[in-house]
């Protein structure tokens, strides 16, 4: 099962009005949009994704348009993608494959497992490569080190809970219970909880990040690095489009785009 991106081009989206007012202006409430495209493929169906989320699938290999719903927020442009799939995979959601390694909101979010094996007074620091491909560990991105255990009550371990109520050599009063945290991480019967770090807005580029853990004695762990992450800042929708000039002999139309209405 996989998606096919090649062969589909000229993707266009047109917002559909829900009705018209007496002055002729359209009323756009539902934010429905007609997505159309061209394709040279045959025997395939097509899926439409809006901002990385599955929006719908065509029902006929000849179909080259589909009506979908778009977000109601005007804060950023809407990303619409059309991919081809085999008919057998028509209703398989490939969003995770489509969005793998791509961040389109200019911020990167890192999720760290807060394992009970981490020291009680440990802190975490995040580093990045500045887009060079090699992570720079001289100055951390986070201005203040992230405290792994802000309160001693958050940490479980031998002698840190009612004695004898946990596993051998391990008490469990503060541990995340089975099915209540990051499932599959943590010791048997216990899950690990997570910490999340979000970067400031980053420019267009491809970045790597690394994390180091430092204990109370200043011992630094071996860094753990991410795979390269592509950041694509969202485009800002135009607030106003005006006709600036038209050259009839050249058949050229010039538009003026403004960020303010």
Query: The domain that contains 76 carries what CATH number?
Result: 2.60.40
How many alpha carbons lie under 13 Å from residue 1 in its C-beta half-sphere? 12
What's the confidence (pLDDT) of residue 123?
93
Give the β-pairing of 229-231 and 102-103. parallel
What's the confidence (pLDDT) of residue 182?
57
Of the candidate ranges 6-10, 116-120, 207-211, the one whose mean pLDDT is the lowest: 116-120
Cβ distance 147 to 120 under 8 Å? no
Query: Does the structure show a pLDDT above 80 at 251?
Result: yes
Domain that holds residue 169: 101-235
Residue 105 sits in the same domain as residue 93? no
Residue 169 sits in the same domain as residue 219? yes
- Beta partners for 207? 229
Residue 96 sits in the same domain as residue 108? no
Average pLDDT over residues 70-98: 83
* Structural domain ending residue among the three candidates 60, 80, 100: 100
Query: Does the structure show a pLDDT above 60 at 144?
Result: yes
> For 96-133, b where at least 16 C-beta lie within 10 A, e where not — what string?
eebbeeebbbbebebebebebebbeebbbbbbbbeeee
Average pLDDT over residues 242-258: 86
| Domain-embedded: residue 259 | no
Confidence of residue 78 (pLDDT cuts 50, 70, 90): confident
Confidence of residue 129 (pLDDT cuts 50, 70, 90): very high
Q: How many domains does the chain have?
A: 2
What's the residue count for the chain? Answer: 261
What's the confidence (pLDDT) of residue 222?
93
Average pLDDT over residues 167-172: 53
- Average pLDDT value over all residues in the chain: 81
* Structural domain ending residue among the three candidates 62, 77, 100: 100
**What whole-number distance in Å separates Cα of residue 222 and Cα of residue 210?**
10
């Amino acid at each position: 099962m996989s998606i096919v991106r090649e062969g589909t081009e000229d993707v266009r989206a047109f917002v559909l009005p829900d009705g018209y007012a007496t002055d002729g202006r359209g009323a756009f409430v539902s934010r429905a949009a007609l997505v159309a495209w061209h394709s040279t493929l045959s025997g395939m169906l097509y899926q439409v994704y809006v901002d990385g989320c599955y929006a719908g699938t065509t029902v006929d290999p000849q179909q080259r348009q589909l009506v979908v719903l778009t977000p109601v927020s005007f804060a950023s442009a809407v990303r619409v993608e059309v991919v081809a799939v085999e008919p057998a995979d028509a209703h398989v959601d490939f969003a995770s494959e489509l969005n793998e390694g791509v961040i389109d909101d200019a911020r990167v979010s890192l999720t760290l497992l807060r394992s009970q094996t981490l020291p009680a007074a440990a802190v975490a620091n995040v580093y990045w490569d500045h887009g060079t491909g090699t992570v720079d560990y001289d100055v951390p991105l986070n201005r203040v080190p992230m405290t792994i255990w802000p309160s001693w009550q958050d940490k479980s371990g031998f002698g840190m809970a009612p004695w004898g109520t946990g596993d051998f050599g391990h008490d469990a009063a503060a541990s995340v219970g089975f099915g209540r945290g990051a499932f599959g991480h943590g010791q048997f019967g216990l899950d690990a909880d997570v910490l999340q770090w979000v970067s400031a807005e980053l420019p267009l580029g491809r970045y790597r990040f690394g994390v180091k853990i430092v204990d109370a004695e200043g011992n630094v762990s071996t860094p753990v690095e991410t795979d390269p992450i592509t950041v694509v800042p969202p485009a800002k929708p135009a607030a106003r489009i005006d006709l600036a000039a038209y050259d009839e002999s050249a058949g050229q139309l010039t538009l003026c785009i403004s960020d303010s209405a």
